[in-house]
């Protein structure tokens, strides 16, 4: 299929502070978003009408309206008022239920791609806000400080950072993780300058994820995995988003790949990757 190709890169939360529960039921957040070079591929081409989504690759996800990529396509076509439709081929590599924003990254890539397939005066940022909390950041990607539910963004200059990502063979539902939060889990804002400075020096950052207590209580193997990663020398291991992926910074890409190879052998059935921070516009 010819057409426009977009990368849909995973995100990490380089710290996640939950400040409290808002009147609308959502939680006020302070986080540091970063995209890494573990990416899905989204190919889009015009068709006569409607949205057709085909999924291939390493991860099985729905191909209908329950898929965020499908919903983003339908929303763009409606907003643009174009008479045609779109065919989408989605090569999935980012696991679902992992705290990596895979579905949101796909939705953002669809919005970017459709703006090229069917150019129109559509406010992509506004459309992204209606597709999910992570989609506004992933529309551009890179490195950004975020507040609100994740839609209030301040983009930062990227830094060279390398990580090891480890996901056990189970998912964590995002809604359930937030529903399990208690007032004792709420904390102050992150020390963003301190986190970035530590990452530049390849030192363990002063970050935290306020969802860890509730998620680790519900999924004790995640707490065990974090302890094991630290015992393996991966200091500063942290959960991304609501899990189930844990990640840790390392000094170089070469070292990240060595750790990933060793961990994949030690924990068969786990999803393990080396990753590096990538710049904006989908990487």
* Residues labelled catalytic: 11, 134
* Residue 34 structure tokens: 């970063």
Give Cβ neighbours of residue 26 (< 8 Å, ≥ 6 apart).
149
Long-range contacts of 260-265 (CB under 8 A, 24+ apart): 260/164, 260/165, 262/232, 263/164, 263/166, 263/232
Q: Can you give the length of the chain in residues?
A: 283
* Residue 68 structure tokens: 């965020």
Spatial contact of 129 and 135, defined as CB atoms under 8 Å apart: yes
Beta bridge partners, 92, equal 57
């Amino acid at each position: 299929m010819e057409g426009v190709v977009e990368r849909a890169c995973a995100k990490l939360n380089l710290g996640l502070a939950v400040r409290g529960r808002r009147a609308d039921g959502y939680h006020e957040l302070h986080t540091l978003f970063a995209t890494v070079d573990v990416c899905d591929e989204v190919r889009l081409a015009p068709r006569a009408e409607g949205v057709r989504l085909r999924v291939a690759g390493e991860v099985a996800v729905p191909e209908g309206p329950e898929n965020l990529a499908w919903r983003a396509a339908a929303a763009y076509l409606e907003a643009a008022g174009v008479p045609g439709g779109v065919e989408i081929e989605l090569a999935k590599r980012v696991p679902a239920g992992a705290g990596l924003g895979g579905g949101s990254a796909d939705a953002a890539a669809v919005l970017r791609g459709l703006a090229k397939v069917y150019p129109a005066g559509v406010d992509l940022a506004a459309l992204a806000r209606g597709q999910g909390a992570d989609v506004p950041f992933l529309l551009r990607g890179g490195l950004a400080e975020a507040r609100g539910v994740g839609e209030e963004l301040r983009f930062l200059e990227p830094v060279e950072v390398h990580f090891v990502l480890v996901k056990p063979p189970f998912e964590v539902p995002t809604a359930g993780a937030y529903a399990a939060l208690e007032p004792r889990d709420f904390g102050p804002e992150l020390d963003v300058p301190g986190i970035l400075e530590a990452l530049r020096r390849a030192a363990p950052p002063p970050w935290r994820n306020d969802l860890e207590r509730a998620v680790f209580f519900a999924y004790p193997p995640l707490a065990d995995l974090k302890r094991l990663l630290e015992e393996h020398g991966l200091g500063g291991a942290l959960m991304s988003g609501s899990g189930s992926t844990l990640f840790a910074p390392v000094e170089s890409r070469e070292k990240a790949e060595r750790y990933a190879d060793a961990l994949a052998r030690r924990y068969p059935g786990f999803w393990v990757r080396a990753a590096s921070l990538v710049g904006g516009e989908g990487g």
